[in-house]
Structure 1
Amino acid sequence: MKNLKRVSRWMTVAFIAVVTNFLVTTSGFAAGLLTPSNAQFSVLEIKTHDVNVIIEDGFAITTVEQVFSNPHSQDLEAVYSFPVPEKAAVAEFTVWIDGKPVIGEVLEKQQAREVYRAEKQAGRDAGLMQKDEYKTFDMKVSPVRAGQDTRIRFVYMQPADVDTGMGRYVYPLEEGGVDEQKFSFWTATETVQQQFSFNLALKSSYPVEALRFPNQSQAVISQKSAGEWSANLTSSGSNPQVEQGQQVNAMQPAFKLDKDLVVYWRHQAGLPGSVDLVSYKPEGARKGTFMLTLTPGDDLKLVEEGRDWIFVLDISGSMNGKYATLVDGVQRALSKMNSNDRFRVVLFNNRAQELTQGYVNATPEMVKHYSDSLLQVTPGNGTNLYAGLKNGLRGIDADRTSSIVLVTDGVANVGETHQKKFIKLLAKKDIRLFTFIMGNSANRPMLQTLTRVSNGFAISISNSDDIVGKIMEATSKVTHQSLHGVELSIRGVKTSNVSPKKISSLYRGQQLVIFGHYWGEGLADIHLSGKISGEKKDYSTQIEFPATANAHPELERLWAYSSIQDMMQEMNDFGEDADLKQAVTDLSIEYGLVSNYTSMVVVRDEVFESLGIKRFNKQRVENEKQTQSKRSTQTPVSRRVDTQQPMFNSTRASHSGSGSFDSWMFVLLLPMLVISRRFRKY
């Protein structure tokens, strides 16, 4: 038992050291109004920026309203960019024209551009929302009249998963700095001149013990009931006091859109494993849409055996300013390893190099030697991720459990960049890939695919994240077994179009969230199966699909987005396919989603009519807002459907009493937190 605890602890310390050091950042490109860097004309201002977030029933709805101000004597075009939120679909883009809100419609990407360009050239009001792959959503509004303001609103939706009893919401603002061409061409205006507000409302049918808003000391957090919490942050500019006769200074900046806002909530410990169902099926409809959330019990045991660890570390130019702390963290990680465990260190930028020249036991002499070697490295150049992984995969010992820890804040932009080549590379070895995706605008789709192929896991890390929370989440998974080869079946009620198509593995604390369509009503048998360390595991229950459910029309968009992600993943794996591309386009238009192949355009009502553009998205938005208004007055409703026949016999995984993060571990963490905080100031 003592040996088991020792193994768990050194594994935890290794992750603490590495992850902590990658949470130290330099400032980068941020969300904001964009102006060409060499522009001769004046820039617009962000007058107000108001964010409202509602998290309930397993998904989050984010509404952002902004006012752009043109203090100049000529009409100008507003160009606003913000990072793509994880698993999020933009469902509404509205521009106020003649004092009235006009909701945008989704068209094929080139068609939307042509409509916007024609209206812009004609001097008529228009707006355009586009997606730049996995990196940013880019919005254009024309014209912002001279000496006037323009008001806009956009809304996006995303699942709100809970991991190991902890929920997390990120409002992404800080760019990842991975798009060098964009960074060199544009200058971002990220300052809100007058009012900024961020209001988050959480409604959970499961008790929530606490809500946390790190790095925002001015935030007001309040609790309404066991499952209802709110977080509010406001900031306003003000004119300074001046003496009579002095010139009045400009409005002082209120808020900068340069750092992510992160909110956490923690569920009560000891909650049972559960199955929750949220559905949407209007009266008279044959087909309904469902979101099924499985939160397994804590059946995954601590891992006892020793391992081989390969640290594959990004030392490209974007890592400047973080490297000294990285070296310190790796040294700490290596010094805490068990003598029976081995490690390698691979670094990559334009090319890959291995410092260790094979596996090394973590003796004090070897730790000092390779720490000194790391100190001689100067970060720079591009990101040859393929070379880094290929080097890391060399010399894998088939008789030992091996894992790769990949930490990167960039995208593959040097050497081999085709995703299917990466997949083929990983398929050659039986190894888990644990990926820490640093910052926004990283190539999250590819990195997540690689971890899926290797049955590992990926964790996204924001520079505004609570360090302790992310460390606990990661180490809890690494130090425990996982459920591999996961399959889910639903029988008794007809279901189809289930997404995601491939589940792969479930690690400790992870939820399984499934979207799909169903026909009819009544009892259905749910069966989940997989293997833990080669031993087959089965879980089953019965749940009831309702004949009518009107409260959650947003599920249709969430299902469509998840299905689009499946198709995009297939094209990323095997190359673009004309049929799949058309299917993505059709789904995006039908359900009003901005995607790689579609954009949302706003024009005057009479222009929509003259162009023959149907107002399907307007109807969908109005229906969603009506149901959201009704839900806002209701107390949280339990969506659990397996109370009569529980699918899981044990309580959910949580950080309390898991053994992966105890008081002993916190003492070890403190010096590293101090180092991280100190470097954040510079």
Structure 2
Amino acid sequence: MTVPITPLKPGEYAPLPDAGLGALRTGKGNLPLESVGVEALITGLTSGVEVAQGFRNPHEVPLEATYIFPLPDRAAVTSFRMEAADRVVEGVLKERGQARRDYDRALAEGRRAAIAEEDRPDVFTIRVGNVLPGERVTVRLTLSQPLPYEDGAATFRFPLVVAPRYIPGAPLPDRSAGDGVAPDTDAVPDASRITPPVLLPGFPNPVRLELGARVDPAGLELTAIRSSLHEVDQEGDTVRLRPGERLDRDFVLRLEFAASAALALVPDEAGHEGAAGDDAEAVPGEGDAEDGDGTFTLTVLPPPEEAGERRPRDVVLLLDRSGSMAGWKMVAARRAAARIVDTLTSADRFAVLSFDSVVERPERLDPGLVPASDRNRYRAVEHLARLEARGGTELLQPMEEGLGLLADPAREGVLVLVTDGQVGNEDQILERLGARLAAVRVHTVGIDRAVNAGFLGRLAGLGAGRCELVESEDRLDEAMEHIHRRIGSPLVTGLTLKAEGLDVLPATVTHLGSLYSGVPLTVSGRFRGPASGAITVHGLTAEGRPWERRLTGTPATGTAARAIWARAHLRRLEDRYATGEHGLEHEIVAASLRHGVLCRFTAFVAVDTRVVAEGGPRHRVVQPVEMPSGWDMPAPPAPMAAAAPMAFATAAPAIFRVPGGDEEELDVPDLLDPLPRTTQRPGAARGRSFFRAPSPKAAPAPPPPVRLSPDTVMPQLTAELTRLRAAADLPGLERRRYLADLGSRLAALVSYLGGEDRLAALAAELSACETSPDADVDALWHRTDALLAELTGGHGGGHGGGHGGSAGPEHGRGFRPSFWKRS
């Protein structure tokens, strides 16, 4: 296709002083996104946010605009609206494939439409179609999010730019799944959906940003408000960005006030049906009778810290030194890693692995784990001080190597990852390592002003660890104090809940975890019946003594509690899907529609009834984004060969995609989902059917369970038997903890592969033994040894710890994972 380039007329542009090559100011402008407005109401430890994105068509034909943008990774998106001229159209939450069909049909018929989709927990895409020449369209998203709280301060973080992500794997040969600049690969089959084009250096501020946050302490004593990365003004209880700020870094507010233990009981509002509209009727099993009548939120304060002995630790430190870590991030990452090494004691062992496209270890240290002596710690810090950013972010190999070092059952295994998390193959990493992450404590330190918080949070969640986000060097010391405390032993473990006068649904309760010094624990879930009663939290202290706290419920109102719980519930289901439980598709769709919360299997779509254009949009523009603050603009990549092993999704050679002319509708067969498509230039937006979840009218039957087989799990079961026998002489409390940890690993393995009822039952019993004072540890130990010996043929040796995440030959080169399907 040949596209003519028409020169601007005199008076239509003006050169910008000190601007980069090709940066001009025009009277009409050429990018569709005009403004982004964020209004937040922070109430105690939650916030409600409305995001307004204003688009204008500067061209002379109808336009479709695409914008790839971030939202907080724990936020629950609960409503969507399109406003154009005198029209206001409320969005409807639908199964994602159906929403796309409705959107494409509306555009083909000449009607305005908009669609909002989630591609990662913190990366979303909005498309707005049939915007008339000169017309302005505003789309609004409403969301709720919890605020993390630690050491007397809550953090409100709102991301404003999707940073470039490293994309590993070989490019796929056919059409792209989305509108981004990176090709889809066998490791990241939707790379083109998470890699927006980047503005060239010197381009004038293209988007007007307005952001305000009103703070209501909700009974807590507010002592200070701090803004971390932006210049702000405060008017009464509202904090606002100063004019001229750009969308190139996260907005961060820290609110200092005292937390308190509480149990809030929030009944559902009368007539609440989510946002699913008529689609909800097509999904069976989603009545409130099966899902409860309200949501509880429990906040528990940790007990005072007492001195005591802890298990010796094996700590593996993974440091990202890839090209995206250049500048202040590399300096902060080196400092963070050195601080972790310096806090180790003589009873600990450690290893330091730095990685980009290759994995390196300190030259003056032996490979593997070494004692944390003064000399070894000095050599490790010396190695860290010399590291500079380079290469690509090949994260899977160093994580596999690090996990391979943590196999001693007598020691607490800790994996610490220091990175910006800017990779595209998150799902591949989770699928390969999901079962193994459950066997160690995983802490992540995300260093960036536009960090990949969703992925780092998922890693830490699977490893029952801590995720710290560091947006500046000033924040580093505070974050590292938190990580140091997490690497240490928790104050209370084996937490369980016992309800009194409140009908709690056990399957809906979020992860309990452990209690750490200075870190309140928040747990939520659903209940049936009246909003009254109490909950007691039980656990064991580090010394093995029983610990409990009883909290009486207080009725409350609002929709945020249910939305935040639903988002957490959906995230857990999505993570289980990523690690192999593909039969969960229908359950995820049903839960999303029932509670009216967007997820990766659903989408909000708003369709106008009025016909405004003939033949659909003639131009399609992908809105470019700012290069994140502190990043250097990389050189345009060389053309990629068909078997190229990696791609760094950053620079597009142009500021925006040049619009084309008329497009021809083609009926392209597709093995997965033959949705309507449009043919376009190479690299343009194509493959609208990237995602396909089951139709609400006829869900496919779940796949048969994968039976345990020797070639897939024998290495891991053999290694578990070897470690069990080696740990036989542990003291009583440590034996109990070891069996509980083993139970969690076996449960993860059974959950991943399916089948073997005896192993599943044993795993459940082992997991409960730590909190059950009546558990016979010796009897459990012998039964576990006997069952593992039977399953492995009695072999207690062999290589240690196969990953248990192998998914068979279909995961070879060129295979496209079914998770959030690209076509």
The answer to whether structure 1 residue 346 and structure 2 residue 353 are counterparts is yes
Q: Say yes or no: does 1:169 pair with 2:183.
A: no
What per-residue deviation string (whole Å, max 9, x for no partner) do you get for residues 204-260 of structure 1?
21111111112323x12355xxxxx3212241xxxxxxxxxxxxxxxxxx3321111
Cα deviations across residues 297-343 of structure 1 (Å, max 9, x unaligned)? 44233566675532111233322344466446655665676566553
Distance change in 2, residues 1:404/1:302 (3 Å) = farther
For 1:170 and 1:201, the matched residues in 2 are separated by 14
Pair 1:70–1:316, CA change in 2 (3 A): same
Contact kept? 1:349, 1:385, Cα under 8 Å? no
Determine if the alignment matches structure 1 residue 526 to structure 2 residue 526.
no
Residue pair 1:313, 1:406 contacting (<8 A) in 2 also = yes
Alpha-carbon deviation of 1:107? 1.2
Q: CA deviation at 1:267?
A: 0.7
* Residues 1:282 and 1:106: Cα distance change in structure 2 (over 3 Å): closer
Which residue of structure 1 aligns with residue 214 of structure 2? 201
Instruction: Answer with 326-335 or 63-72: which moved more.
Output: 326-335
Alignment-derived partner of residue 74 in structure 1: 61
Cα distance in 1, alignment partners of residues 506 and 490 from structure 2:
30
Which residue of structure 1 aligns with residue 197 of structure 2? Answer: 187
Residue correspondence of structure 1 range 452-463 to structure 2 within 5 A: 452-462=461-471
Q: In the aligned structure 1, how far is the partner of 2:478 from the partner of 2:336? A: 18
Determine the structure 2 residue equivalent to 1:299: 304
Deviation at 1:601, TM superposition (A): 0.6
Counterpart in 1 of 2:646?
none
Is 1:569 matched up with 2:580? Answer: no
Q: Distance in 1 between matches of 2:376 and 2:521?
A: 45
Counterpart of 2:547 in structure 1 is 538
Structure-1 residue corresponding to 2:505: 496
1:216 aligns with 2:230: yes
What is the SS of the residue equivalent to 2:392? coil
Q: Look up the match of 2:251.
A: 261
Q: 1:387 to 1:480 in 2, by over 3 A?
A: closer
Q: Is 2:136 aligned against 1:146?
A: no
| Shift, 1:520, TM fit | 3.1
**1:360-375 correspondence runs (5 A):** 360-363=371-374, 367-368=378-379, 371-372=382-383, 375=386
CA deviations on 1:126-156 (whole Å, 9 max, x unpaired) are 1110111335110011122212322221111
Distance 1:337 1:538 in 2: 29
| Partners of 1:187 and 1:475 in 2: CA distance | 38
Offset of residue 445 of structure 1: 5.9
For 2:604 and 2:427, how far apart are their aligned partners in 1?
33
SS at match of 2:561: helix
Deviation at 1:294, TM superposition (A): 1.4
Deviations 1:371-400 (A, max 9, x none): 258637763133233433433542665555
How far the C-alpha of 1:122 sits from its partner, in A, is 2.4
Greater Cα offset, 65-74 or 149-158: 65-74
Q: Aligned with 2:402: secondary structure?
A: helix
**Which residue, 593, 596, 600 being the options, matches 2:597?**
593
* 1-structure distance, mates of 2:457, 2:207: 39
Matched, 1:275 2:262: yes
| Identity score, percent | 20
Alpha-carbon distance between aligned partners in 2 of 1:325 and 1:371, rounded to the nearest angstrom: 15
3-state SS of the aligned residue for 1:603? strand
Amino acid at match of 1:312: L
Q: For residue 197 of structure 2, what is the amino acid of its counterpart?
A: T
What SS is found at the alignment partner of 1:379? coil
Amino acid paired to 1:78: A
Rounded to whole Å, the distance in 2 between the matches of 1:56 and 1:376 is: 43
TM-score (ref. length: structure 1): 0.69
User: How far is the alpha carbon of 1:442 from its aligned partner?
Assistant: 6.9
Alignment-mate amino acid for residue 300 of structure 2: T
Q: CA deviation at 1:263?
A: 0.5
* Correspondence 1:21-36 to 2 at 5 A: none
Counterpart position of 1:409:
420
* Equivalent in the alignment of 1:663: none
Give the conservation status (yes or no) of the 8 Å contact 2:103–2:114. Answer: yes
| 8 Å Cα contact 1:331-1:367 kept in structure 2 | no
Specify the code of the residue in structure 1 equivalent to 2:420.
Answer: D
Deviation at 1:362, TM superposition (A): 4.7
Question: Which string of whole-angstrom CA distances, capped at 9 and with x for unpartnered residues, describes residues 12-46 of structure 1?
Answer: xxxxxxxxxxxxxxxxxxxxxxxxxxxxx983243
Could you tell me which amino acid in structure 2 is paired with residue 232 of structure 1? R
**Residue 583 (structure 1) aligned with residue 568 (structure 2):** no
Give the aligned residue type for 2:81.
T
- Structure 1 residues 481, 598: closer, same or farther in 2, change over 3 A? closer
CA deviation digits over 1:587-613, x for unaligned, max 9? Answer: 222332221111111112579xxxxxx
Supply the distance in 2 between the matched residues of 1:446 and 1:65 (Cα, whole angstroms): 25
C-alpha deviation, 1:406, in angstroms: 1.5
Q: Structure 1: which 5+ residue stretches go unaligned?
A: 1-40, 224-228, 236-253, 608-682
Structure 2 residue matching 1:65: 3-state secondary structure: strand
What one-letter code is carried by the residue in structure 2 that aligns with 1:533?
A
Q: For the residues of structure 1 that align with 2:377 and 2:449, how far apart are their CA atoms?
A: 35
Conservation of the 8 A alpha-carbon contact between 2:115 and 2:128: yes
- How many pairs align? 533
SS at the partner of 1:176? coil
> Is the contact between residue 45 and residue 147 of structure 2 (CA under 8 Å) also seen in structure 1?
yes
Structure with the bigger percentage of strand: 1
SS of 2:563 mapped into structure 1: helix
Q: SS of 2:89's equivalent?
A: strand
Which residue type is aligned with residue 593 of structure 2?
Answer: I
Structure 1 residue 264, shift from structure 2 partner: 0.7
Give the 3 Å change call, closer, same or farther, for CA 539–586 of structure 1 in structure 2.
Answer: same
Query: 1:231 corresponds to which letter in structure 2?
Result: V
Specify the SS of the correspondent of 2:505.
Answer: strand
The aligned amino acid for 2:325 is M
Q: Quote how far apart the aligned CAs of 1:173 are.
A: 1.3
Q: TM-score, normalised by structure 2?
A: 0.58
- Pair 1:90-2:95 in alignment: no
The answer to whether the 8 A contact 2:116-2:603 is kept is yes
How far the C-alpha of 1:345 sits from its partner, in A, is 0.9
Whole-angstrom CA distance in 1 between matches of 2:544 and 2:388: 45
Shift of 1:447: 4.5
Q: Does residue 326 of structure 2 align to residue 320 of structure 1?
A: yes
> Which amino acid letter does the alignment assign opposite residue 565 of structure 1?
R
2:72·2:122 contact (CA, 8 Å) conserved in 1? no
Decide whether the 8 Å contact of 1:49 with 1:66 is kept in 2.
yes
Of 107-116 and 405-414, deviating more is: 405-414
Does residue 1:485 correspond to 2:494, yes or no? Answer: yes
Among 556, 564, 572, the alignment partner of 1:558 is 564
Cα shift at 1:419: 2.7
Q: Please tell me the residue identity of whatever aligns with 2:605.
A: V
Matched letter for residue 562 of structure 2: E
Specify the alignment match of 1:624 in structure 2. none
How far 1:541 moved relative to its partner? 2.4
Q: Report the equivalent of 1:387.
A: 398
CA distance 1:338–1:103, shift in 2 (3 Å) = same
Contact in 2 for aligned 1:348/1:388 (Cα 8 Å):
no
The whole-number CA distance in structure 2 between the counterparts of 1:72 and 1:126 is 18
Kindly provide the amino acid, as one letter, of the partner of residue 187 in structure 1: P
2: CA distance, partners of 1:109 / 1:440: 31
Cα 1:471/1:330, change in 2 over 3 Å:
closer
Q: Secondary structure at the match of 1:567?
A: helix
| 2:295 equivalent in structure 1 | 290
